[in-house]
Chains A and B, each alone.
Chain A
Amino acid sequence: MEIEFEVQDGIGIVHIKGDLNANTSPELTTFFEENIDEEHANIVIDMKKLDYSSSAGVRALLGAARAARQNGGDLRIAAVPSLVARIFKLSQFDRIVKMFDTVEEAVQSYSATESSSG
């Protein structure tokens, strides 16, 4: 699994590539622990190049979503491959986080939220 991180308009964008499973998810959890804080609490996960996720991956993402919200932000998912989307549905993770077709839409959703909330 490879992780790349960039900040765009104050939104932290995490690109995940490869497999997310019990063996690799601790690396992602550590990454989130080191990078989600009050300054970077609005996160977008780009899954365009994610080949696979098991329930261990879902749990790592759930932990990150919780951390983002505790820091006053949110975690949103973009470009989920159809086979990976299956486990999000089975685990009901798709009810917990917002999902978007593209990274751009996910990033823009934050400004839309801020505009609508005042």
Chain B
Amino acid sequence: MPVSPSSPDNSISLRVPARLENVRRLTRMVSDLALQADLSERAVYHCRLAMDEACTNIIEHAYPTQDDGEIAMQVTLQEDELVILLTDFGLPYDPANVPHPPTHAPLDRMRPGGLGLHIMRTVMDDIQYRVSNSGNHLRMVKRRLS
């Protein structure tokens, strides 16, 4: 599997083919860094969950018909927070255009990706999405004391 890892003490960068079988590897790397940052068990689980949902959304919605897409991940451990930056090079998928589901929205009627996005928004402290010439960039933050 072609990967390009680099790992300074407080940062991990990796670029992998956008395939479901690679998601576990990415989420595990984030979990390991979150553990290293002394985040609580619950916070580590939330980071893993958000990563899983974000990568799955990229694979299913940024690359719906493309099997040679890639996901670039950069995770940085800062003083008070863990910052996850995911970049894909497929179709833009702007979370801002997906409304929060109503409290009683039937689970099976949510739009594709909507549940994953709802979970990411709920378990992370901040989420931002930016489209540029270099790709679609999703930035997620988990604060140490959240």
Contact = CB atoms under 8 A, between A and B. Distances in A.
A71 interface: no
B92 to A, nearest CB: 21
A21 B57 CA distance: 12
A91 B23 contact: no
Interface stretch (A8-16, A51-59, A100-108): A51-59
A90 B118 contact: yes
Interface string B4-37: 0000000000000000110110000000000000
Interface residues of B, number: 24
B45 A93 contact: no
User: Interface centre among A21, A56, A59, A83, by most B CB within 10 Å?
Assistant: A21
A21 B42 contact: no
Chain B residues touching A, majority SS: helix
B42 to A, nearest CB: 7
Nearest to B115: A55
A60 to B, nearest CB: 12
B20 A58 contact: no
Nearest to A23: B20
Contact of A91 (B20, B60, B107): B107
Given A56-B56, A58-B115, A92 B42 contact: no
Interface string A1-44: 00000000000000000010111000000000000000000000
A50 interface: no
B70 interface: no
B20 A54 contact: no
User: Interface centre among A19, A23, A93, by most B CB within 10 Å?
Assistant: A23
Interface in B98-146: 104-105, 107-108, 115-116, 118-119, 122-123
10 contacts: A23-B23, A23-B24, A54-B52, A54-B53, A59-B108, A83-B42, A87-B49, A90-B119, A91-B107, A92-B104
Interface of B: 20-21, 23-24, 41-42, 45, 48-49, 52-53, 56, 59-60, 104-105, 107-108, 115-116, 118-119, 122-123
Given A58-B107, A59-B108, A90-B119, 7 more contacts: A23-B20, A23-B21, A59-B107, A83-B42, A91-B119, A92-B105, A93-B107
